[in-house]
Every structure is written in C-alpha cells, then in structure tokens.
Amino acid sequence: MKKILLLLTLSLVSFGISQAQQKQNSSSFAEFDQFLAKEVADGRLIGVHGMVYQDGKLVYDHTYGLRDKEAAASMKGDELYFIQSMTKPIVSVALMTLYDQGKFQLDEPISKYLPEFAAMRVVNDPTIGSSSGTHAAPSPMTIRQVLSHTSGMSHGIAQIAYDKEIWNGIILNGKLKTLEQRTTALAKMPLAFDPGRKWNYSFSPDVVGRLVEVLSGKTLDVYLQEYIFTPLQMDNSGYNLDGEQRKRIQTVYAFAADSTLRRTMGQPTPSGNTVFAGINALFTSTADYLRFGEMLLNQGSWNGKQILKPETVALMIQDHTQGIERLDGSDSFSRLGNGIVTDALGTLNLEPGHGFGLGFAIVNNPKAAQRESQSKGEFFWAGANSTHFFVNPKKKLVAVFMTQVGSVGTPNPYGFYFGNEMRRTIYQGLK
C-alpha cells in the first residue's frame, strides 16, 4: 500500500497537478489557494505562482501546474516570466529615482530633453486615422503626462484605425533596433488626442524609458540594473537572460478557438534583445517582483536601501488624472483587464472608480469600481500575459500572480477574471 501511495505521489508531481512549492502558506488564504488550483485543474492555466506578503512577512507562496506542458516540466517556484506591461511600473520608478536626484520637474515639457517631440501634431479623428487630417497640439506633452498616460499618445493595440497605424509603424517596424530609434519614430507620428485631454493607454512608457537614458547617460537596461535590480536583489530580472535562467522561462500559452490553451508560436526572445522598452520586454521572477512591491509598500525602502524618497512614492500613488475626460458607471464600455476598458470610441480608457498615478492605476472608489472588498488607495498593474500585482498600503499587503496566458493578437476571455478573482480571494483571506 505504501508503495502505491508513493508512486501516486510521484506521478502527481511529475505532471504538475499537485503543489510544486510551498515555502509558507497561511490557512487564511485557503480560498486563494483553491482558486489557483482550480484554474489549473479546469485548464484555464497551465502553471501559476501566487505570493502574498503582509505585515513584513511572506504569508503565502505556492505554485500549481506546469512550467512547460509539452515537456511535462513541473513548477518549482523559480520560474521566469515575460511580464509585458508590468515592465511599465519598474521603468516609471527608474525615472522617479532621477526626479529624486533633481534631474527634472514633472511639469516640464518632454521636448526639453527629447527635442524631437517639439511641435507635435494630433490626428483630427483617431477612429479614422491620419487620413482625417491633423492639427497642432495646443500644448506640449509633459513628463507628468507621459507617466500617467494622459499625454495624448496611444498604444497601437486598440482596434481603432489610428492604433493600427501605430502598430504597423512601430511594433512591426523591423528597422527600430534601440529605444532611441523607437521613440524617434514615435515622435514623427501624430498624437491620438490633445495632451491632457483624455486618459488613453499608450506607448508613453517608452518615452519614460528614453528619458531615463538621456537624463542618466546610461542605457535603460544598465540603469535598471544599477538602481533597481541590484539594490533590490532582483537577480532574475532583465531584458536578456543567461543560459541557466533561460531554462527556467515559463512557456507562454494562449486560448485557441476551441477555448483550450495552446503553446504560442512566438515565444519571448530571451537573449540578443537591443530594444530596452518601457512598455514591455522585461523578464522577472515572482519573488523578484514581490521585492519590488515590498519596496513601494515600505515607502521606497527595502532591506536598508532607499530606492525612492518616501514623499516620491506618495507622489507616485496619487491620482494625476484630474481634469481629464473620464468614464463613470453610466458610460458604455467593456472591461478588457484590471484598470483598462474599451470605451464607446474604441480606445483603451481608464476603468470607472480608478485614477492613475505615475506608473500605477489606483483604486479611487471601490464601489464605483465594483470591488467593494478593496480599499481606497490600492495601486496595481498587470501584463498582457496575465500577470498581476497590487499593493494595499492600508492593509500592509503586496500580492503577485504570475502565469503566462497571452492576449496580444489572440482573445483572452479571462483577462479581467484572473486579476479580479486574485483580489477577491486574497481579500477574503484577510477577513
């Protein structure tokens, strides 16, 4: 009988059905744990890692499923993830370290440091595209605006005509080999909206990253390593990975037409990358990103190292979208992901009940956000491969959810669901 039980246990581990790693697991997070296990069991996730930090200690650390289904490789807890837009908060923090050094002011025009962005034009109708004509931007884009997605830029991933022009001109442009080349190309394209008029999810974090390069005199990868990754001991984070790290990359899957997860044709490229983007492109581990969140929770400090001044962290997690056009519960929209909706215009707008700081979305009104379990002041972001993190200062809480289910170029019916259930079940555990 003992032999049968041993064989059964080994079989479960080899197929990643049971727990692969558990350093610490508080029973109060049983619902979160059940959520992770069920998503894998029901086939909505291949592998997942959840970590929760509260009151100065790790209270949940658990993996389920497989790192690579085709190789039958179980999760071990040290996987590396292509985090897509969860790159954006890291690059925003990098720029604000330069703010602490007195290198710039938030309301300065970006053209002071990137002159190619002077005299910008704006398309008359982004739903039609540049063929609708353009007009002169009534005001220059400011650094505050590029940090808060209110600069008038767009991301190229909405379904409107002008976003398709941006996608073709920037993402599909094989001639752009550096961040400088990419932002120079962006500067030649008109804006989607007048600066400061509307929140619109955008390419502006690339401009943020380029500002880091110009203000510091270092390429973005080098600056991140010196001022973020090394002091935070984020030893598994970067745009390029070494041979040992590449063995631990979590495989990216996406939903096929039959609603099953299939390995994507184009897996992330882990080496030889030269475009150190602000919008995406970083690899990291769950533990690394948790340390990043701990630093923010601790007002810029981690393990005795001060990455940001406390007042700068406070500034970053304030809402900087006052005065812009925003949605409320009566407007027509569809939820795309946590913090982002597609509005009636077809652009990517800020979800009702939310504001946006300098690199993070902020819960302003939990009731209007339809997340009454959450606290006002929670800040967060997510990535297109279904990665999520949030920080709740009032509850002294950081949570990270890592998986690899893609949504760029392929529908992901659970893009909103994963992050929503992550929050609901974690907050349930705090009651």
**pLDDT tens, residue by residue, 185-202:** 999 999 999 999 999 999
Beta-carbon neighbour count of residue 342 at 10 Å?
18
Question: In CATH, what is the architecture of 79-408?
Answer: 3-Layer(aba) Sandwich (3.40)
**CA distance readout (Å), 184 to 118, 178, 211, 282:** 12, 10, 12, 21
How many residues make up the chain in this entry? 431
Q: Of 372, 368, 388, give the one whose Cα is nearest residue 380.
A: 388
What type of residue sits at position 411?
Answer: P
pLDDT tens-place string over residues 133-191: 999 999 999 999 999 999 999 999 999 999 999 999 999 999 999 999 999 999 999 99
Strand blocks (E) in 69-120? 73-74, 80-82
Closest CA to 338 of 349, 351, 321, 325: 351
Q: Are 23 and 368 in contact (CB under 8 A)?
A: no
Residues 6+ apart with CB under 8 A from 313: 296, 299, 300
Residue 371 is predicted with a pLDDT of 78
Q: To which H or E segment does residue 10 belong? A: helix 2-14
Lowest mean pLDDT among 96-105, 282-291, 321-330, 395-404: 321-330
Cα angle 357, 359, 363; round to 5: 45
Domain ranges of the chain: 79-408
pLDDT at 26 over 80: no
Q: What percent of the chain has pLDDT over 90?
A: 84
Task: Give the mean model confidence (pLDDT) for residues 109-126.
Answer: 98
Q: State how far the alpha carbon of 113 is from the alpha carbons of 100, 105, 116, 138, 150, in Å.
A: 17, 11, 9, 19, 19
Q: How far is CA 373 from CA 52, 60, 76, 244, 386, in A?
A: 17, 19, 32, 41, 22
**C-alpha angle 183/186/190, rounded to 5°?**
150
Q: How confident is the model at residue 331 (pLDDT cuts 50, 70, 90)?
A: confident
Tracing tokens 């979590």 back to the chain, one arrives at: 250
d(CA 176, CA 169): 10
Q: Cβ neighbours of residue 249 under 8 Å, at least 6 residues apart?
A: 79, 80, 81, 82, 241, 267, 268, 270, 283
Higher pLDDT, 17 or 254: 254
Look up residue 364 and give its DSSP letter.
Answer: S
Judged by average pLDDT, the poorest of 58-72, 235-249, 284-298, 373-387 is 373-387
β strands within 203-324, DSSP E: 253-255, 261-263, 283-285, 301-302, 305-306
Q: How confident is the model at residue 22 (pLDDT cuts 50, 70, 90)?
A: very low
**Residue 254, strand partner residues:** 262
Please list the alpha-helical segments (H only) found in 268-414.
Answer: 286-297, 310-316
Residue 323 has a pLDDT of 86
pLDDT at 76: 97
Q: What is the DSSP letter of 112?
A: G
Half-sphere exposure of 192 (CA within 13 A, CB side): 32
Q: In angstroms, how far is CA 140 from the centroid of its own chain?
A: 27
Amino acid at 72: A
Locate tokens 């993402």: which residue? Answer: 171
